[in-house]
Structure 1
Amino acid sequence: MSISQIVAQHLPYLRRYARALSGSQQSGDAYVAATLEALVEDPSILDLGSSTRVGLYRLFTKIWNSVGINGVTVEDSGDQPVERHLSQIAPMPRQAFLLIALEGLSEDEAAKVLDIEVPELRELVDQSGRELAAEIATDVLIIEDETFIALDLEALVEGLGHKVLGVARTHTEAVTLARAKQPGVILADIQLADGSSGLDAVNELLRSFEVPVIFITAYPERFLTGERPEPAFLIAKPFQPATVSAVLSQALFFARKAKRKERKAS
């Protein structure tokens, strides 16, 4: 199997990670593309000392930490390190947290990706946890037709300090609940109990107001090929609670950052 074929196996996961860091698939894909371009130009830069995935994420991190969004480089970004500029790049604690919680890397693997020692990685993850805990709680709408999964999500969301507005099992219930009280974030399945679509329900709601959306589904291909709302994140079933926690925190973080930019612009 060629290097390109091996790398291709890890691209969906790298795109997910880049999406979570940047806040949009377009921005994330720009960094992934830059990583692939660098790899095509010089295949030897891919460090395969541990694994292809770790080597690919390590190369991506070098690109991420040296090139800012909209082409702003480290040298152009001012007198502070680029990772301190939240408008350009997620800080190191969030990178560490996502590598562990979202991407499922071991501490050793995540430390190699970030080119740090394990003790420093643990400090970064702890710091990120404190930052995430300080985030303002919000109201959550859950669109899920499977009772036990809905209960698990409800307990997880409330454990993070958020309030669940309600659980909708159909398109109609989702629209009714959301219009009664606008949620701060939506967790949605795609295939619902009555054959309706959570994706259609979300797209209908987003025509009235903007809110971050996290799709949690056993049918990710329906999200990837359908009309994708933005901002939206994707988690495949079966999911890990830590993954939901990480993505939920990132979704709220980028939504609030966008609102702060809008207020400043006005």
Structure 2
Amino acid sequence: MEQYTGHFMQHLPYLRRYARALTGTSGRGDALVTQTLEWYLETESAQGLSRSALYRHLNQLQDKDSVPPSVAPYHPVESALMALDETDRRLYLLVNLEDLPVSDAAAVLGLAPEEAMERLTHARDRVRARLTATILIVEDDAIIAYDLAETVRGMGHVVCGNAATMDEALTLAAEHRPTLALMDIRLADGDNGLEVARELRAQRFLPVIFVTAFPDDLAKHGLEHLGPVIPKPFTRDQIEQAITRAVFMPQPEDARETAHPH
């Protein structure tokens, strides 16, 4: 019996990691692993099974439990995975988290290797798309706009366009429905980025990062709630950190109301 217990313990860290990802919580994940250990020690045919077979048993317990997996609020990767079909989510976890060969992951899930590879490719594409922000740049200085665009693309996000005026910004926003805007305050033709941000907020909530040489303008007008400010001149690190926070931070309550009116 000790040799079988030792065999199971070798797999324990991996089983706990997968079970926690499978269920979405450490408590439920550990409970599945405990049930698996009890089954393993009590069932002679289970003793000495491979890690893949133990993953399969965890899946069966999760299906029997019939409780949908939890997702941490506003966790971008978990949210992206939850958008997948459950089989595809498990396939993604087994290959990307547990480092199983696709053929082994396919066996765990009862899929043909060719189907598993096709589904994995589709799942990876969907996760990548969910983690990619579409960013609108509103800046009338061509050199600064170019620098911002290069920073955005270097992070793996998409630039949907650059606007120098309010009309251009609203047109691009309506056409591409970006997930974030990098906004100068003083624009071409005398337009004002604060008005652009307020109009976009009235139409639908859009997170805005103000990149401006006039950082005090928001405070002067009592509009600090419209978004964070990065003063010019800026560094790429400042832009990258601000984008990451804006893309992955939870929306405030009023934002969800604006985005989904009753």
Q: Normalising to structure 1: TM-score of the pair?
A: 0.45
Structure having the higher helix fraction is 2
* Bigger RCO (CA 8 Å, 6+ sep): 1
Q: Normalising to structure 2: TM-score of the pair?
A: 0.46
